[in-house]
Amino acid sequence: MSRIHSGRKGKSGSHRPYPLTKPEWVSVSSEEVVAQAVQLAKTGVPAAQVGQNLRDSFGVPSVRAITGKRLVPLLAENGLRPDIPDDLQALLKRVVHLQRHLQTHPKDLANRRGLSLMESRIRRLARYYRQRRRIPENWRYSAAGAALQVE
């Protein structure tokens, strides 16, 4: 595999998959995991951080192994699915930060190119999510819209 915007190969590899059965040493029930995940998501924490928090604070190695469902569909069942997926939201946040940087440093051509590459990554990811009906069909990327969505 190669990196998307460079001529180099990158360090991508496979990971050992989680076992899909609940480990014996986990004492938390699936109802408790769901309750904790919902409580954390209601505070505005993204799904990735909810999983990390469950892992680090409550000793849950995998939400899927304990509940039988992945975390995002579990949150969606409880009405906590975000309007924009977390990875797209993170890219929008990075773009807004780069735009602010380029307003104060207009001759920073390396970051201008990085902004262009990041915007193309957002458009590609948005096309994927539109096809899978995760974002509205009329959602389009714009620099001003990104600043409004992040704030």
CATH code for the domain in which residue 113 is found? 1.10.287.10
pLDDT given for residue 32 in this prediction: 93
Look at residues 33, 53, 34 and name the one whose alpha carbon lies nearest to residue 45: 53
pLDDT given for residue 12 in this prediction: 72
Rounded CA-CA distance 71/65 in Å is 11
Could you tell me if 146 and 98 are in contact, meaning their C-beta atoms sit under 8 angstroms apart? no
Length of the chain in terms of residues written: 151
Q: Would 146 be classed as within a structural domain?
A: yes
pLDDT given for residue 16 in this prediction: 75
pLDDT given for residue 11 in this prediction: 74
Looking up tokens 């799904």 gives 47
On whether both 95 and 40 belong to a single domain, the answer is: no
pLDDT given for residue 2 in this prediction: 66
CB neighbourhood size of 54 (10 A): 21
pLDDT given for residue 104 in this prediction: 96
pLDDT given for residue 135 in this prediction: 92
On whether both 101 and 127 belong to a single domain, the answer is: yes
pTM of this structure: 0.79
On whether both 46 and 94 belong to a single domain, the answer is: no
On whether both 56 and 98 belong to a single domain, the answer is: no
Q: Would 40 be classed as within a structural domain?
A: yes
Q: Spell out the per-residue pLDDT of the chain, length 151, in tens.
A: 567 777 778 777 777 777 788 888 988 999 999 999 999 999 988 888 999 999 999 999 889 999 999 999 999 999 998 888 999 999 999 999 999 999 999 999 999 999 999 999 999 999 999 999 999 999 999 888 888 877 7
On whether both 109 and 138 belong to a single domain, the answer is: yes
Could you tell me if 89 and 46 are in contact, meaning their C-beta atoms sit under 8 angstroms apart? yes
Domain that holds residue 117: 86-150
On whether both 67 and 105 belong to a single domain, the answer is: no
Tell me the one-letter amino acid at 93: K
Q: Would 59 be classed as within a structural domain?
A: yes
Q: Would 112 be classed as within a structural domain?
A: yes
The structural domain count of the chain equals: 2
pLDDT given for residue 97 in this prediction: 95
Q: Would 10 be classed as within a structural domain?
A: no
Residues 6+ apart with CB under 8 A from 137: 130
On whether both 57 and 113 belong to a single domain, the answer is: no
